[in-house]
Amino acid sequence: MFKILIIEDEEALVAALKRGLSAEGYFVESSSNGREGYLLASEKHFDLILLDILLPEMNGFEICEELRKQGNLTPVLMLTAQGDELDIAEGLDLGADDYLVKPFSFVVLMSRIRSLIRRTKRGSIEQTTAFGLFLLDPDAHRAFCGEVEIVLTAKEFAILGYFLTHPRSVISKRELLDELWDMNYMGDPNIVEVYIRRLRQKIDPLLRAPAIETIRGVGYRLNVDV
Ligand code: CA
């Protein structure tokens, strides 16, 4: 049985989500307080976290950032208010996996939840993979560039893994979306750019050169000869 944690302070929304998710067979816990929710998320295992942004004591961004810093890779689906595009970008930068704009339909929520849980299991590589200076160990969820360990979120890990298993290929944004996000992903395809930027920020300083090359109008290529 999959376990979902809801961190949200809108009581009516939490009650509706709990009812709906329980009826779908999920085990649900919730907290309306940011700090308490964060503690729950760091102490117990969940398969997914539904995370509001504005919360008492600790906001959704801080929660997400702290969890990722700890190496907690539970998929996070952010619940954002309408028109908060900056919030969305920031949330993704801090390690959230996807977002939904309120108010959302329960059907859409369910499809996102299923795909995120499935992707977490599926989107990752299965065995230790090395190419150039890079080495990924999916069992331990550890990534190395030479001797140096790179701390990656689940999605960043999956993207780097995809590059490593398609050496020297140019990979389009569409391909990454199709392979690593849900086919029904309705959000902005530019989400890929956010992740590529994050990966570059982590990798480039180690190689002292741009590792992920942009092939204009086509896609990206991991440059291992830098
Ligand atoms: Ca709120």
Q: Verify that 26 and 114 share a domain, yes or no.
A: yes
> Could you check whether the bond before residue 189 is cis, i.e. omega within 30 degrees of 0?
no
C-alpha 32 – ligand 1 centre gap (Å): 8
Q: Verify that 214 and 110 share a domain, yes or no.
A: no
**Per-residue pLDDT averaged across 219-224, rounded?**
87
C-alpha 34 – ligand 1 centre gap (Å): 9
- Distance separating alpha carbons of residues 205 and 210, to the nearest angstrom: 8
pLDDT tens profile 104-139: 999 999 999 988 887 765 455 667 888 888 999 887
- Distance separating alpha carbons of residues 6 and 77, to the nearest angstrom: 10
C-alpha 89 – ligand 1 centre gap (Å): 18
C-alpha 98 – ligand 1 centre gap (Å): 17
| Structural domain ending residue among the three candidates 87, 122, 157 | 122
Q: Verify that 101 and 10 share a domain, yes or no.
A: yes
Q: Per the structure block, which two tokens stand in for 46?
A: 């969940």
- 218, 210 contact by CB (below 8 A): no
Structural domain of 218 = 129-222
CA distances from 152 to 14, 188, 193, 201 (A): 31, 22, 16, 11
Q: Verify that 52 and 79 share a domain, yes or no.
A: yes
CATH number, domain containing residue 63: 3.40.50.2300
- 94, 63 contact by CB (below 8 A): no
Q: Verify that 160 and 182 share a domain, yes or no.
A: yes
| Structural domain ending residue among the three candidates 122, 140, 159 | 122
Q: Is 29 left (phi over 0), alpha (psi -120 to 50) or beta?
A: beta
**Placement of tokens 């009581």 in the chain:** 11
Q: Verify that 170 and 82 share a domain, yes or no.
A: no
Split into its structural domains, the chain has a count of 2
Q: Verify that 135 and 118 share a domain, yes or no.
A: no
- Identify any residues that bridge with 212 across adjacent strands, giving them in sequence order: 222
- Distance separating alpha carbons of residues 192 and 185, to the nearest angstrom: 12
CA distances from 70 to 63, 151, 152, 153 (A): 11, 10, 11, 11
pLDDT tens profile 5-57: 999 999 999 999 999 999 999 999 999 999 999 999 999 888 899 999 999 99
CATH number, domain containing residue 186: 1.10.10.10
Q: Verify that 115 and 8 share a domain, yes or no.
A: yes
Query: Can you give the pTM of this predicted structure?
Result: 0.59
Nearest to 65 by CA among 34, 25, 33: 34
**Per-residue pLDDT averaged across 133-162, rounded?**
88
Q: Verify that 105 and 162 share a domain, yes or no.
A: no
pLDDT tens profile 68-111: 888 788 899 999 887 666 677 788 888 888 889 999 999 999 99
Q: Verify that 35 and 106 share a domain, yes or no.
A: yes
Q: Verify that 141 and 215 share a domain, yes or no.
A: yes
C-alpha 156 – ligand 1 centre gap (Å): 28
